[in-house]
Amino acid sequence: MKIATYNVNSLRKRLPVVLGWLEQQQPDVLCLQETKVQDTEFPALALASTGYHTIFRGMKSYNGVAMLSRVIPDEICFGLDDGQDPDEARLVRAVINGITIINTYIPNGFKLDSPKYVYKLEWYKRLRVYFDKHLSPDRPVVWCGDMNVAPEPVDVHSPEKHLQHVCFHELARNAYKETVAWGFVDVFRKLYPDRQQFTFWDYLRPNSLDANKGWRIDHILATASLAERCTKVEVDIEPRRAAGSSDHTFLWAEFAL
């Protein structure tokens, strides 16, 4: 089973990229983040023409998540289900081929002294509670998406320069790791313990892709028994090279079921 994730940074702008990648790579599941489109304007027909079933939750100009599947998803849920402040179209969960898949777009945090950074840290705590409430580490579960955290120094270029960045700051990394400790394994890092491989290259840094000055902030994680069945993980850099691309690219993993 091939599961992919991609921060599309506006689905309507990047729809040809997504359609082309689906045709070329044929994943069983594709999780999208930052779709940036209201549900009433979601390009459902265009995606349905590819043969994929799509579930989505969006909002105008910001955030938004979607999940595309070759088979009809079961047990579809949205949001953190905790009765607190709205989670801003950042989480969708479904069961596909017997595997529970959670697709998240974690808040960026903006700046360390911003309320948005506090919100990011709290969101991770809420997510850990969500896992406790709805899931079990003993079951086959995949958690993927844009986590907005580079977990280790190898996951960011020039790490010594980014210690105060909201995606590499100690508190953000700890919040991420505490959530992972619920029972997840980073399948990329399991297969490639030391490899430096990025998934995001900033628009604001000229030639960041050619210079390979990026971040690994998009992740696919699985519960232990499922992680043992992960046979391949790849980052497809080519879509990032295209004109008008997202600042992220596709990450995918294969599981022998």
pLDDT tens digits, 162-171: 999 999 999 9
Q: Where are the beta strands (DSSP E) in 43-89?
A: 53-57, 65-69, 74-78
CB 142 within 8 A of CB 185: no
pLDDT bucket at 56, cuts 50 / 70 / 90:
very high
**Predicted pLDDT at 23:** 97
pLDDT bucket at 38, cuts 50 / 70 / 90:
very high
Q: Angle at Cα 67 formed by Cα 204 and Cα 234, nearest 5°? A: 60
Average pLDDT score over residue span 45-64:
96
**Predicted pLDDT at 52:** 98
**Predicted pLDDT at 86:** 73
Bridge partner residues of 219 (DSSP)? 145
Q: Is 105 a catalytic residue?
A: yes
Q: 3-class SS at 241?
A: helix
- C-alpha–C-alpha distance, residues 253 and 219, integer Å: 10
**Predicted pLDDT at 84:** 86
- C-alpha–C-alpha distance, residues 96 and 118, integer Å: 33
Average pLDDT score over residue span 196-201:
98
Q: Indicate the average pLDDT of the chain.
A: 97
Q: For a pLDDT cut of 70, what percent of the chain falls above it?
A: 100
Determine the residue type at 249: T
Number of domains present in the structure of the chain? 1
Average pLDDT score over residue span 221-240:
99
pLDDT bucket at 243, cuts 50 / 70 / 90:
confident
**Identified catalytic residue from 87, 146, 186, 218:** 146
**Predicted pLDDT at 160:** 98
pLDDT bucket at 205, cuts 50 / 70 / 90:
confident
What sections of the chain are H helices per DSSP? 11-25, 44-48, 115-134, 170-180, 187-191, 224-227, 238-241
**Predicted pLDDT at 34:** 99
At which residue do the structure tokens 């999208």 appear? 32
pLDDT at 33 over 80: yes
At which residue do the structure tokens 């070329």 appear? 24
Domain of 30, CATH number, reads 3.60.10.10
Q: Is 146 a catalytic residue?
A: yes
pLDDT at 214 over 90: yes
Nearby residues of 181 by Cβ (< 8 Å), 6 or more positions away: none
**Predicted pLDDT at 88:** 84
139 vs 83, more confident? 139
CB 234 within 8 A of CB 4: no
CB 65 within 8 A of CB 30: no
**Identified catalytic residue from 105, 124, 130, 176:** 105
Range of the domain at 242: 2-255
Whole-number Cα distances in Å, 233 to 4, 73, 240: 9, 23, 17
**Predicted pLDDT at 87:** 73
- Side by side, which strands form the sheet with 99-105? 74-78, 91-96, 99-105, 141-146, 218-223, 184-186
CB 65 within 8 A of CB 32: yes
- C-alpha–C-alpha distance, residues 57 and 224, integer Å: 29
Average pLDDT score over residue span 236-256:
96
For 224, phi then psi, to 5°, come to -55, -45
Could you read off the pLDDT of 85-127 as tens digits, one per residue?
777 899 999 999 999 999 999 999 999 999 999 999 999 999 9
